[in-house]
Amino acid sequence: GAGVSQSPSNKVTEKGKDVELRCDPISGHTALYWYRQSLGQGLEFLIYFQGNSAPDKSGLPSDRFSAERTGGSVSTLTIQRTQQEDSAVYLCASSVLAGGPYEQYFGPGTRLTVT
């Protein structure tokens, strides 16, 4: 079946602009995660959704970052007033259900470049 998909695959934006990153999890997966991968910081957790609620937002680096999930499926990560330090690959993952943890399946990522 289809894996996790993310769009866009690449995004170049000017400092100060807002961006939206989209994640389509594997159908039927109730848990969804956002991570960020950068050279300096490695792979960092951002936020975890169980259904449409986010019991763990502890990894969001500032209040410029927000995320939502609707219909227990698609999720959007929004970064407002982007800064150069936001440049990274943003990865989305999903797992079959909460209460595990179960293996997480990752999407190809969105490479964000803030100029």
Partner 1 sequence: AQKVTQAQTEISVVEKEDVTLDCVYETRDTTYYLFWYKQPPSGELVFLIRRNSFDEQNEISGRYSWNFQKSTSSFNFTITASQVVDSAVYFCALSGTQGGSEKLVFGKGTKLTVNP
Smallest distance, partner 1 to C-beta of residue 102, A: 7
Footprint of partner 1 on 22-81 (CB under 8 A): 31, 33, 35, 42-43, 45, 48, 55-56, 58-59
DSSP 67: E
Q: From residue 58, how far is each of 3, 63, 97 by CA, in Å?
A: 26, 11, 20
Q: Indicate left, alpha or beta for 59 from its phi (over 0: left) and psi (-120 to 50: alpha).
A: alpha
Question: Which residue among 91, 94, 110, 114 contacts partner 1 (CB under 8 A)?
Answer: 91
Length of the chain: 115
Task: For residue 68, give both structure tokens.
Answer: 């939502």
Cβ-based nearer residue to partner 1, 48 or 65: 48
8 binds partner 1 (CB under 8 A): no
Smallest distance, partner 1 to C-beta of residue 16, A: 28
b/e code 23-38 from CB counts within 10 Å (16+ = b): bbbbeebbbbbbbbee
95 binds partner 1 (CB under 8 A): yes
**Residues binding partner 1 (CB under 8 A):** 31, 33, 35, 42-43, 45, 48, 55-56, 58-59, 89, 91, 93, 95, 98, 100-109
